[in-house]
A = this chain, B = another copy of it.
Amino acid sequence: MDRELKIGCIGTRGHYGQALAELEQIENVRLAAMSPGGDSAEGIKEWCNKRGEFAEYFENYQQMLEKGGLDLVIVCGPFEKHAEMTIAAMERGIHVLCEKPVALKIADLEQLKRCAEKNPRVLLAGMMFSRYEPGFFTAHQLVSSGAIGEIRLINARKSYKMGKRAEYYHSRSTYGGTIPWVGSHAIDWVLWFLGKQPRSVCAMHSRIGNGGHGEMESSALCQFLFDNDVAVSISIDVLRPPGAPTHGDDWMRLVGTRGVMEVRPTEIHLINDENDGSRKVPVASDRTLVGDLIEEIRGGKKGLIDAAQTLELTEMCLRARDAADGNGKAEFKKH
């Protein structure tokens, strides 16, 4: 039988709750330690209390990592500390599941890249939960099996409600920008489906209409060009009306040489040689992000997102955001 894996959790900004919920479904893992990491650990404490479990509390996250014994740490500290916290864990050989983006600045990302290169056996995954949603999960399988031929064009959208957001969303230095925070999922689908970084991106974003949220951008567009003239447009907004039936309006459209597919979290609309769009495509996903990561830690098969893609995705987001600051264009180095 597998030995019990010990998990630590730093902070409660972002999707720590979803990570813990997925953890509950996995046998032989235990939340062993927590730290507020400059934020709060209240939500983690509540999760433990509800389950009648105990996890050791550390005011200082470095001390938590230092004490040893952790196999995996969930990083949900202040966004601007993602890179620092991830590096601290990886350098101690602790695998990391980090809220995206794993860095808010290119300089921090470069440090993280060097750390990942030095520690190739330590796993790092960004919280790209949406790869595991039934629609996107099934779409990737279908596209990989040739359902639409070669991809020529992708349009993707993230649209969220603004609501009333905490103070740290109001400032670029603690939020990072709407392209990395909201747009990263759409950019991640593209990276996942195309399997490589783009050649360039043209981007723009705007704070106008953000309902008093300081520097937070409420709308953005990114236009990526990939090898072989594959074109990608990403639309991002936080202007979804309060009365909309769901918080988000995730959507992707893939145009291939022999078919077109529209994808949402729980549905796929496909037109190709075999389907004129009138037949529903069954969607399903029997895996989770945390489940895959635990399996990989135990020496099983690889999950859907690894350190290399986590870092490539972050670079795409940050270069697009920085280009958008000047309504300009960024080139990617590898090309």
Contacts and interface: CB of A to CB of B under 8 A. Distances in A.
B231 A204 contact: yes
A316 B273 CA distance: 35
B153 A155 contact: no
A17 interface: no
**Size bracket, chain A contacts:** 35 or more
A278 to B, nearest CB: 7
A309 interface: no
Contact of A278 (B208, B237, B245): B245
A219 B255 contact: yes
A218 interface: yes
A86 B218 CA distance: 44
B220 A237 contact: no
A230 to B, nearest CB: 8
Interface stretch (A70-78, A164-172, A183-191, A257-265): A257-265
Given A218-B152, A260-B159, A231 B206 contact: yes
A105 interface: no
Interface in A169-225: 200, 202, 204-206, 208-209, 218-221, 223, 225
A239 B260 contact: yes
A159 B255 contact: yes
A202 B232 CA distance: 12
Contact of A243 (B220, B243, B276): B276
Given A152-B206, A223-B233, 7 more contacts: A153-B235, A153-B237, A221-B232, A239-B256, A240-B260, A243-B273, A329-B329
Interface of A: 150, 152-153, 155, 157, 159, 200, 202, 204-206, 208-209, 218-221, 223, 225, 228-233, 235, 237, 239-241, 243-245, 249, 253, 255-260, 271-273, 275-278, 327, 329
25 contacts: A152-B208, A152-B237, A153-B219, A153-B235, A155-B157, A200-B327, A202-B202, A205-B231, A206-B231, A208-B228, A220-B231, A221-B233, A223-B223, A233-B233, A235-B253, A239-B255, A239-B256, A239-B260, A240-B260, A241-B259, A241-B273, A243-B276, A244-B271, A244-B277, A245-B276
